[in-house]
Structure formats: C-alpha cells, structure tokens
A and B are shown apart, each in its own frame.
Chain A
Amino acid sequence: MDLIADRGRRVTVEELNTTKLLAHAAEQAKQRKFEDMLIVDVDAHHYESEHMEQILPFMENDVLKQLAMSGRAKGGRGAIMPQSVGYQDMGGRVTRYPLRSSEKTPGKEHRDVQIGHRWMDAMSVDYSCLFPTGMLSIGLHPQKEMEAELCWAYNRWLTEKVMPESGGRFFSMLCLPFSDPDAAYRQVCEFGHRKGVGGFMVTTVRPKVGVYENAYMKTYRAIEERGLVLSFHSGPAWGESTFQSCNRFLSAHALGFSWYNILHCTNWVVNGMGERFPKLPVMWIEAGLAWIPFVMQKLDHEYLLRPSEAPLLKKKPSDYMRDMFYSTQPMEVVDEVALQDTFRQMNAETQLLYASDYPHWDFDLPSTIYDRPWLSEKAKHNILGGTAARLFKLPPRNEGQKKNLERFGNLHT
C-alpha cells in the first residue's frame, strides 16, 4: 500500500507493524532498563468502532438493538454514536491512522489484545488501562437510553471478550452512562466486581451535566465502597458551541481537552465532593497538566473571598485538588521550569500517573517522565507505575519490579 500526499512523495509501506513502528521506543526501554520498573499506562485506547458487530449483540433492549444494528448494516444510513469533527491523523502525517486496517494479527487472541501487547511490549508497559475511542463522545448522544445501552454492551464485551484474553495485562475503568444516573448506578453494581475492572470512567464531554447532582451520589458511594477509582476522561468537541469560533483543529483540540476537565473538576471541588467521599480515589485523564495550576490558582483566589458559596470546604480548593489523581498525557514539555513548578503544585510524586494514550496521535512514551533530570528516583518510580500499582492493586511481573515496588512503598499485599 502507498501512503501518498497530494503534494508529497509516495511512501510504500507493506503493512502497519506496531512493533516495527515503535522500534525506537523499545530501544529507549532497553537503554533505561525499564524491565525492572513496573510501568502502568492508565490511559490507552482501542477502536471499538471496528468491532461493533461484536458489541451490539450485547445490547439488552430489542428495539434499540434493532435500531443500532440496522443502522450499522450495509446500506444503513445513520451513525449510532455521536461523531466529532477532527483531523487526528493530521492529513495522513501520522501514518498509523491510514495504515491501521493493514496490520496483521495472526494470533488466537482478540485483535485489540494482539495489537495492544505490541505497543505495550515496545514501551515496556506492564499493564494498560484500556479505554474506547469513539465512545468518548457518548455524552453528546441525544438519547440517554441509547447511551445506557451502548455503554452496557461495550462494558460486557470488554469484560467478557477482550480483557480475558490479555493475560491480565489489560484493565479498565468502565464507561458510565452518565446521562442516566440510575443506569450508571446499575452498571457499577453489575460490573464493579468483574476481573480487570479498576473503576469507572465518566466521559467529560458533557457541557450541560453537573457532577454534583444528587442523583449521582449513590453511584459515587457505590464506587467508593468497592474500593474502585472514579475517573473523568476528557475529549474534544469541535462542533460544540464553545469551540465553534476555532478555525483550526489545533485550537479546538488544545482547548477542548483542557476545558471539559476544568469544568467538571471545578464543579467537583466547589461542591465539596472531596468532603462527601473522602475515600473515593478520583482521577482526571487526558487533559495534560498545564490546566491544573491554573484552576488551583483561580479557585483558591475566588474561594478566599466567597467561602459562602462553597460551605462544604474545610480547606483550600487546591488542597482538594492535591488529594486527587491526574494522568500525565499529553504532558506539556515545552518549558522545564514551568513543568517542574506544575509538578510541585500538584504533588506529582504521589498524585500523578503515567499515561501513553497510545495509539492516538499525541501519545507519550515512559521516557517523557523518566528523562526529567529534576525528578527524584522515587517520583519516577511512583509516576510510571508505583502509584497505579497501589491504586489498582497490580502485582509486579518480575523480581526486579517487586524489589522496586517494595523500595518505594508501592507493593500491594
């Protein structure tokens, strides 16, 4: 197959081979002796839209299932998932997008498991938290019952068909149908005990939903009681009114991923959710890090003057933010001094967790953390996997990792 740009050269590529594409990542891992370091990727993705024929039969409601399956069938016209406009592949410059379907997976395991293991092995990632791709926009679905059905079907498929074939190396925080609080609660009760479920994830592209609504409290309580993690995963929504004046994907992407986490994190903190659920680990995913000091400073500044509007708070908003967890990617490595100060403000040594976001266009390698000269060894081990090992109760995969987990107090017993 040829990759060709209209105004460029022909590049002949026989097929995508993730192992080959990431050969330099494997070199990095070897040079840095990552084998002895447990590395956990708390945000990696697969393209569930490529397996809808496997997923949709898990829908429960016959009428909605008929609508969804018919829409997917040859000649079907409608999309069943909200689609967002975007150019993630940068006009074909990020070649794994146009080449994706050419990758061969001759093994017995599910295709997504085989491909996943290739990038994990290249990066020396031991465990990956697998998230969907298209479903990150599920919060924009106009029908809450369809959202609940699609999340249900995906969660069953993932826990029954995909993760069991990963040799325990994939886990997930399952997608919650947040537009329907009762359905979200039911899915926590139904799936919370399943193998590989480390928690539940709310897609934050939901401009009109308040995370403080009373209807959600039983769901948060249920997640907390089970010792699981509640995460919020951001995304872009170029078509949404806030971003309609952005004329470049760069702008909508940079702002969108930050904005939706800023919005819901602010509501979470100001409404005293940290006081209501002090034992619930909460994680904010895929917004990078630059927004965190911004929100900390803005909220502390306003709270100082207006405590009457946040009466549940017993400490500064930034203190609650430092109680929560954040994933690294896409880490803004453009100004080391600013980045170092961001790490300081958020207590990165204990609150930050490495994420690759692979195979998406702006993925980060473990070296983005390991190579920061100002990070202590303990911080590197914690961020790359130790903190996640504690949160998700993940065991070491070799003796070297065990020693390092013990050394930094991260061995789960």
Chain B
Amino acid sequence: MAEQFVCKTAEFKDGDRRIVRIGQHEIGVFNHKGEIYAYSNYCLHQGGPACEGLTISAVEEHLNPDKTSKGLFFSDTQMNFVCPWHGMEYDMSTGECVSDRKMKLRKYKVTKKGEDLYVSV
C-alpha cells in the first residue's frame, strides 16, 4: 500500500483542497464541512482534472403539490465539485457523477496520523 502525506490537519480548513500524486494516481483531497474526501483527479468524461474546478451547491427544481414548478434553487445539503473542462458535476459525498450515478470516481482512503493527513492507494 502506497501512502502520501497530504498536509498538516491544522492547515487543512473547511473548503480547502489539495492535489497529491501517488505514482500514476492523481488524487484530489477535499475538506468539506470537516469531512475529508479523496477522489481520483481524472474525470470520467474525457480525463480532465475533475477535482480542480469550482465546488458549488447542486441545483434543484422544486415543485408544488400540483406539479407546477417553483423554479430553480441551490441545494442546502448537496455540494458538488465540477470538472473545469466541460462542467461535469460530482457529488462531494460520494464521488458520483450527478447526471449518471453509475459513473463514480475512484475513492481513496484518507488517514490522520497525529497532526498529519495521509492518502493511500
């Protein structure tokens, strides 16, 4: 099992991210609301840097009980990260592609060792 130091946990705040390499693996590590997520940085669309773009709340359309639309809203619960090449969106909590949840970025294991954060393959 190969392991790579990411950074000191104290330096990795909510909203931060790092891109680290382990051999052929390029990995995006996110801190989202205190949870640490690590995903492959190779987009499932055309291989773009999936973890290097915007993070932005998912967009929802809310309906009234009579099925009329209330319009578009940002989600209060789901955060996505967006591949900057063509805008494909991934669910931060799962790494799934929002428009086709069968497509899922490889997830990597993150471990805290004392003050340090590591990601492993």
Contact = CB atoms under 8 A, between A and B. Distances in A.
Given A23-B49, A24-B48, A365-B46, A11 B55 contact: yes
Nearest to A25: B47
Contacts of A21: 49, 84-85
Contacts of A361: 86-87
Contacts of A96: 84
Contact of A94 (B57, B74, B87): B87
Interface string B8-30: 00000001000000000000000
A11 B17 CA distance: 9
A136 to B, nearest CB: 19
Contacts of B87: 90, 93-94, 361
Interface string B76-95: 00010010111101000000
A90 B56 CA distance: 12
B47, B48, B56, B89: residue with the most chain A Cβ atoms closer than 10 Å: B56
B53 A95 contact: yes
A286 to B, nearest CB: 15
Given A24-B42, A94-B86, A361-B86, A5 B47 contact: no
A363 B46 CA distance: 10
Interface in B33-82: 42, 46-49, 53-57, 74, 79, 82
Contact of A24 (B49, B53, B55, B86): B49
A3 B47 contact: no
B47 A94 contact: no
A27 B26 CA distance: 12
Interface string A89-115: 011111110000000000000000000
Interface string A355-376: 0000001111101100000000
A9 B32 CA distance: 10
B46 A95 contact: no
A21 B48 CA distance: 8
A93 B82 contact: yes
A7 interface: yes
Nearest to B75: A7
Interface residues of B, number: 19
A9 B15 contact: yes
Contacts of A91: 56
A91 B87 CA distance: 10
B42 to A, nearest CB: 7
B46 A11 contact: no
B60 to A, nearest CB: 11
B15 A368 contact: no
Contacts of A8: 54-57, 79
A86 to B, nearest CB: 14
Contact of B86 (A23, A27, A363): A363
A28 B46 CA distance: 10
Nearest to B84: A95
Nearest to A368: B46
Contacts of B53: 11, 93, 95
Contact of B56 (A93, A362, A364, A365): A93
Contact of A7 (B15, B42, B57): B57
Contacts of A367: 46-47
Closest 9 CB pairs of A and B: A8-B56, A7-B74, A7-B57, A5-B56, A93-B87, A9-B55, A95-B84, A90-B87, A9-B15
Given A90-B87, A93-B54, A363-B86, 14 more contacts: A5-B57, A7-B74, A9-B15, A9-B54, A11-B55, A21-B49, A21-B84, A24-B48, A27-B47, A94-B87, A362-B86, A364-B46, A365-B46, A365-B47
